[in-house]
Structure 1
Amino acid sequence: MTFSSSSTSRPTGHAAPSSSVPAPAPSPAPARAERRPTGPLLVVAAAALWGTTGTVASFAPSDASALSVGAATMGVGGLLTLALAGRSALAVLRGGRTARVFALLGALNVVIYPLAFYTSMAYAGVAVGTVVSLGCAPVLAALLERLVDGTTLTWRWLLATASATAGCVALVFAGGDGPDAAGGERVAAGVALGLLAGTSYAAYAYCGARLIRCGHSSRAAMGAVFGLGALVLVPLFVATGGPLVGSGRGVAVVAYLALVPMCLAYVLFGAGLARVTVSAATTLSLVEPVVAAVLGVVVVGERLGALAWAGVGLVVLGLLLLTVRGRAAAS
């Protein structure tokens, strides 16, 4: 239902990812009515787990580089995601030229994302790096869908994205006064890397969605994309991850990041992509900076001012606009 507004036959196959052939007329309505509400919840659950990454990564050994943390998270986690998918991931690579192209493009962006994301947080701070990376993703994903698929953006999505993006902007300005804030060129570089991370995130989410539209299950699509990305990230982790694996605390950080916000969260995210549009999924994932901000207060001991809390409220409002929907959805 959710990946293209130009066709009325694809939604049926989307509501039931196990088949790429449109179902007969009497069957799609119950499936769509039953599954539609779960899609946003799955994406929000995944984003909530992602929101823990910055806080957990802050406990890594001080001499561990951001590159090694990013490579460990999505490299090891990618192998686990591939293992969960099993042979179905290999079926994606044997699914024809189109499937291979999207799997390879998705894998390329899977490699870029953690390296840019964790370095962005190292340069600009956890709050700013997280918010910029995720804040730009909805707009980029929507533009990608619009340009490639001709998807029509609904007024509800526009309002939700405007509210959530305004909240992210407020969080960025509020984060500039936080304890993690750096100064000068490092902040600018961190913001630029955050934009790169958001671009790569939108791109691999789109590629995963296209693989699902080709008839592959969400687990197979995520397994293929992240498994291919792990072929690059794991060797990078081996080359740079000495400080991480050299202490029990570092191993614990890697284990958590690989198992929970990477492996488990992306399984949930892949399942959600089978039920919502990429643009909606990336907007829903803006719950991540909210979780990151709350954990910063509760766990790290950061203080958020009125502007930051206003930003959190705007993000939550955007999420509600997307998740509390009427039964009728725009095609």
Structure 2
Amino acid sequence: MSMRTLARGASRARATTSIRRPAGGADVLAAACLWGTTGTVRTFAPAAGSVSVAAVRIVIGGVLLLALAACTARGGGLRRLAARRRDLPLVALGAVMIAVYQAAFFAAAARTGVAVGTVVTIGSAPAFTGVLGLLARQAPVTARWAAATAGAVAGCALLAGGGQGAGTDPLGVGLALLSGLSYAVYATVAAALIGGGEDDRAVVGALFGAAAVLFVPVLAVAPPAWALTGAGALVALYLGGVATGGAYLLFGRGLRTVSAATATTLTLAEPAVAAVLGTAVLHERLGAAALAGLALLAASLVALVVPARR
């Protein structure tokens, strides 16, 4: 495994980006919208712990994504992916990064607060992805991407702050940065595999199927009793089947034609959706700073997803 392997997949992905970029961007935005619903849905299972929720959603989502890949073309994509031994280290790396991303994020949120942990994680991921893209000789960072990403990150900061102070913890911030880096590596690996000719369903199924195996011990140590109730079961099925399985299926399809750097920036729509749902469903109130952040974030994402004039 090397940066040259990532570069081969990235170069093939670039060849199709200019053809179907709007469709790929719409898929990534749809995935981000689904991720944005998780916070609101999770409130319907108040007894669930954060780590337990992460383990349940990854295990359910991983099993469903792996089963879908196995049913697609009779599992031809999975067999082809397994037969290419040079890609197996990338699959292992991507699966480990999924697990690290989840674990580091919840540890960061526990130490430095949800607002700061979320902003640092989601805000740092596009920057890390852009750097990884350069190292992998992916599409160069453009002024448009840099401006849209800066605006979107600033919007996230205003939205998460909302006029309320939040304490910071150096170790918590470091864990949030590790979470953002892990997500960036996962996105880059997935984009390289898909851009290299692998089936997107097979790639996502293999990555999350392997990540699900890593989370099984968590369920064994702390059984998710909350998921055995009626409401808890519905929450678990939604988080695993829709907000993880369905969302990452859309994200993988978007990576066919959108670079990892652009896709990671577009996922900054997640906190905007979460804020809107919090206002509409949970009756939370947004201050003037949060509303300004929401407007800045929306404008930045629109500027990024609308195709540039040739």
Q: Scaled by the length of structure 2, what TM-score is found?
A: 0.88
Q: Distance in 1 between matches of 2:136 and 2:216?
A: 32
Task: Show the counterpart of 1:215.
Answer: 197
Cα distance between partner residues in 2 of 1:8 and 1:204 = 17
Over 3 Å counting, the alpha-carbon distance change for 1:195 and 1:176 in structure 2 is: farther
Decide which of 83, 88, 97 is 1:109's aligned counterpart. Answer: 97
Aligned pair in 2 of structure 1 residues 47, 9: CA closer, same or farther (>3 Å)?
Answer: closer
Task: Go from structure 1 to structure 2 and tell me whether the alpha carbon gap of 1:58 and 1:143 turns closer, same or farther (over 3 Å shift).
Answer: same
Query: Aligned pair in 2 of structure 1 residues 232, 160: CA closer, same or farther (>3 Å)?
Result: same
- Alignment-derived partner of residue 234 in structure 2: 252
Gapped regions of structure 1 (runs ≥ 5): 16-31
Q: Are 1:297 and 1:304, in contact at CA under 8 Å, matched by a contact in 2?
A: yes
Secondary structure at the residue paired with 1:300?
coil
Which residue pairs with 1:23 in the alignment? none
Please give the secondary structure, in 2, of the residue aligned with 1:145. Answer: helix
Residue 156 of structure 1 corresponds to 144
Instruction: Tell me whether 1:288 sits opposite 2:270 in the alignment.
Output: yes
Is the contact between residue 54 and residue 126 of structure 1 (CA under 8 Å) also seen in structure 2? Answer: no
Q: Name structure 2 gaps, 5 residues minimum.
A: 1-5
Deviations 1:272-308 (A, max 9, x none): 0111110000001100010011112122222111111
Whole-angstrom CA distance in 2 between matches of 1:9 and 1:140: 21
Instruction: State whether residues 166 and 311 of structure 1, in contact with CA within 8 Å, keep that contact through their aligned partners in structure 2.
Output: yes
Q: Does 1:202 align with 2:184?
A: yes
Query: Any idea what the Cα deviations from partners look like across 1:241-276, whole Å, max 9, x if unmatched?
Result: 333234222222211100111000000000001111
Deviation at 1:236, TM superposition (A): 1.7
Distance 1:7 1:214, change over 3 A: closer
1:275 to 1:126, Cα distance in 2 relative to 1, 3 A: same
The answer to whether the 8 Å contact 2:10/2:138 transfers is: no
Instruction: Decide which moves more: 149-158 or 316-325.
Output: 149-158
| Alignment of 1:57 onto 2:31 | no
> 1:161-211 CA distances to partner (integer Å, 9 max, x unpaired)?
11101112222332745xxx6x565xx655444322222111111110111
% identical equivalent positions: 43
Of 123-132 and 296-305, the range deviating more from structure 2: 123-132
Distance 1:55 1:226, change over 3 A: same
Question: What amino acid sits opposite 2:78 in the alignment?
Answer: A
Matched pairs, number = 300
SS at the partner of 2:281?
Answer: helix
Aligned to 1:67: 51
What is the Cα deviation at residue 141 of structure 1? 0.4
Equivalent residues of 2:9, 2:195 under 8 A apart:
no
- Residue 257 of structure 2 aligns to a residue in which SS? coil
Q: Give the drift of 1:150.
A: 5.4
Contact 1:110 1:201 in 2 (8 A): yes
Provide the C-alpha distance between the structure 2 equivalents of 1:104 and 1:46, rounded to a whole number of angstroms: 23
**Larger helix percent:** 2
Residue of structure 2 equivalent to 1:267: 249
- The answer to whether the aligner puts 1:143 opposite 2:131 as a matched pair is yes
Equivalent residue for 1:92? 81
**Bigger CA drift: 214-223 or 256-265?**
214-223
Q: Distance in 2 between matches of 1:105 and 1:303?
A: 40
The alignment's TM-score, normalised by the length of structure 1, stands at 0.82
1:77 aligns with 2:65: no
| Secondary structure in structure 2 of the residue aligned to 1:37 | helix
Offset of 1:239 from its aligned partner?
Answer: 2.7
| Alpha-carbon offset, residue 122 of structure 1 | 5.2
